[in-house]
Amino acid sequence: VQNFFTPAESKAFIKAAESAGFEHQGSLGPAKGEAYRDNDRIAVNDPALADMVWQSGLSKLLSDIKIRGKAAVGLNPNIRFYRYKVGQHFGQHIDESVDLGEGKHTVYTLLVYLSGAAKTKDKSDSKNMKDCASEPIVGGETVFYGSRNRVVAEATFIDVIVTMQVAPAEGMALLHIHGDKCMLHEARNVSKGIKYVFRSDVVFA
């Protein structure tokens, strides 16, 4: 969903997250049975913020989707902000569903990129680029791999590995299913700039 957050909203979230202070998140990697992870994170429990983002358009976007008789009812109030500096990335992994009790569980991951790659410039853009506090991102794509790269139980063949790559763009929202249907995916290495992401989950009940 392009332009889900405005540039002003994206920059305000970055400023607030930087003011709160990030903590580094790392892992030991595949050698220890973990996805490789190297980024910075903040996690806050904010039901009001989750509801505000949900009511800004997501509720309408997902209103016709039913999964096992359940409908989307809101966002997980556990809001996370991610920061990837140059050289940081998150290796291949899946996102698990979260049971929130009272018949509620998460079904989709919501990512909103707060910074992004350079846009095609015209003469009017040159001054704006100079005024921008953060330089454009190179790298940092979210890449998906088909069928978790494994044998499908219902079939007698191994699925061809299909990839889809999503480049970060300021204010763009990306939704993907998670839990037992989650596609294997990764956040590629950032080679220039700083990648900021707003993260939550869509709750069904």
Taking the C-alpha atoms of residue 54 and residue 74, their distance in angstroms, rounded to an integer, is 6
User: Measured between alpha carbons, how far is residue 165 from residues 20, 113, 176, 201 in Å?
Assistant: 31, 14, 13, 20
CB 193 within 8 A of CB 138: yes
CB 98 within 8 A of CB 195: no
Give the pLDDT confidence score for residue 82 in this predicted structure: 98
Residue 14: pLDDT over 80: yes
pLDDT tens per residue, range 142-195: 999 986 444 333 433 445 556 899 999 999 999 999 999 999 999 999 999 999
Q: Domain limits of the chain? A: 7-26+34-121+132-204
Q: Which residues pair with 79 in a beta bridge?
A: 44
Length in residues, the chain: 205
Give the pLDDT confidence score for residue 72 in this predicted structure: 97
Give the pLDDT confidence score for residue 160 in this predicted structure: 53
Range in 48-57, 114-123, 128-137, 162-171 with the lowest mean pLDDT:
128-137
Helix, strand and coil in the chain, % to nearest 5: 25, 40, 40
Fold of 7-26+34-121+132-204: Jelly Rolls (2.60.120)
The CA-based diameter of the chain, rounded to the nearest angstrom, is: 58
Give the pLDDT confidence score for residue 64 in this predicted structure: 93
**Residue appearing with tokens 């707060």:** 114
Taking the C-alpha atoms of residue 139 and residue 119, their distance in angstroms, rounded to an integer, is 14
Sign, CA torsion 59/16/6/173: negative
pLDDT tens per residue, range 71-126: 999 999 999 999 999 999 999 999 999 999 999 999 999 999 999 987 645 444 44
Q: Residue 49 burial by CB count (10 A; 0-12/13-18/19+): exposed, middle or buried?
A: middle
